């Protein structure tokens, strides 16, 4: 297991970046808008049409205030997040998912065989990691097109509201499903090692 340490370091970096994005950057965004969350943080549901309108109006108001106060607006902060930390997070998370699935099957024991269902589970984790990566990147691009500083001047693009909801739901569903499968793979690994340890040793 020692040679797997780069993967565990990757997972730690991903977790740290996630905490920073939510506890620091997401919090800064919410404070400017009276507690409203970024679309990225709206787990599964995303913003419906009325919610998107409310967010858009608050962003427009904050943009005017930001110009008067000579500070960055919430809209600019949101786009900056996508161009920095949230540019790194999706690939880091996708790689972490792929690693966690692989690590669950590594060193499973000399006496245990890998069932076909387990191999399928690992393949699903890798596929879901890729779907998550694509969904997150496209979600960021659509959100910028709806709530970026330039978009605020043109008005809310209501046709993109449902698209953003679907992308947000896809991102979270793929994440939850992948973690669920990974949990089952680790349970299988634990059972496999226990069974291997209980087998009589050859004299």
For position 104, what pLDDT does the model report? 85
Distances (CA, A) of 50 to 46, 156, 199: 11, 11, 62
Q: Name the DSSP class of 2.
A: G
Q: CA 106 to CA 109: how far, in whole Å?
A: 9
Percent pLDDT > 90 in the chain is 79
Q: CA 104 to CA 191: how far, in whole Å?
A: 12
For position 111, what pLDDT does the model report? 42
Query: What length does the chain have?
Result: 203
| Tokens representing residue 189 in the block | 């690994």
- Per-residue pLDDT, averaged over 91-106, amounts to 93
C-beta of residue 203 within 8 angstroms of C-beta of residue 119 = no
Taking the CA atoms of 187, 189, 194 and 195 in sequence, report the sign of the dihedral they define: positive
Does 41 score more than 60 pLDDT?
A: yes
Cα angle vertex 115, ends 127, 118, to 5°? 25
Q: What is the mean pLDDT of the chain?
A: 91
Question: Collapsing DSSP states into helix, strand and coil, what is residue 118?
Answer: helix
For position 118, what pLDDT does the model report? 86
> 191: pLDDT confidence band, cut at 50, 70 and 90?
confident
Q: Which helix (H) or strand (E) holds 165?
A: helix 159-198
Distances (CA, A) of 73 to 36, 113, 118, 197: 14, 57, 48, 60
> 169: pLDDT confidence band, cut at 50, 70 and 90?
very high
> 36: pLDDT confidence band, cut at 50, 70 and 90?
very high
DSSP string over 7-39: HHHHHHHHHHHHHHIIIIIHHHHHHHTTTPPPG
For residues 167-191, one letter each, b for 16 or more C-beta atoms within 10 angstroms of the residue's C-beta and e for the rest, the string is: bbbbbbebbeebeebbeebeebbee
Distances (CA, A) of 114 to 99, 109, 111, 132, 192: 17, 10, 10, 26, 9
Distances (CA, A) of 42 to 15, 156, 165: 19, 18, 9
- Per-residue pLDDT, averaged over 72-87, amounts to 97
> 44: pLDDT confidence band, cut at 50, 70 and 90?
confident
Q: CA 96 to CA 6: how far, in whole Å?
A: 11
């Amino acid at each position: 297991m020692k040679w797997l340490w780069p993967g565990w370091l990757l997972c730690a970096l991903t977790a740290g970046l996630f905490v920073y994005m939510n506890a620091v950057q997401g919090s800064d965004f919410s404070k400017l808008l009276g507690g409203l969350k970024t679309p990225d943080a709206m787990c599964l549901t995303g913003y419906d049409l009325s919610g998107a309108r409310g967010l858009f109006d608050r962003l427009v108001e904050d943009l005017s205030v930001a110009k008067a106060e000579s500070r960055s607006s919430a809209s600019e902060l949101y786009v900056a997040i996508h161009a920095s930390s949230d540019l790194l997070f999706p690939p880091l998370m996708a790689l972490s998912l792929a690693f966690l699935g692989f690590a669950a099957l590594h060193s499973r024991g000399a006496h245990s065989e890998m069932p076909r269902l387990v191999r399928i589970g690992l393949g699903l984790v890798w596929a879901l990691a890729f779907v998550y990566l694509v969904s997150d990147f496209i979600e960021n691009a659509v959100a910028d097109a709806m709530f970026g500083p330039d978009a605020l001047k043109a008005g809310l693009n209501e046709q993109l509201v449902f698209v953003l909801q679907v992308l947000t739901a896809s991102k979270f569903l793929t994440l939850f499903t992948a973690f669920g499968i990974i949990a089952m793979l680790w349970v299988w690994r634990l059972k496999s090692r226990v069974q291997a340890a209980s087998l009589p040793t050859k004299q």
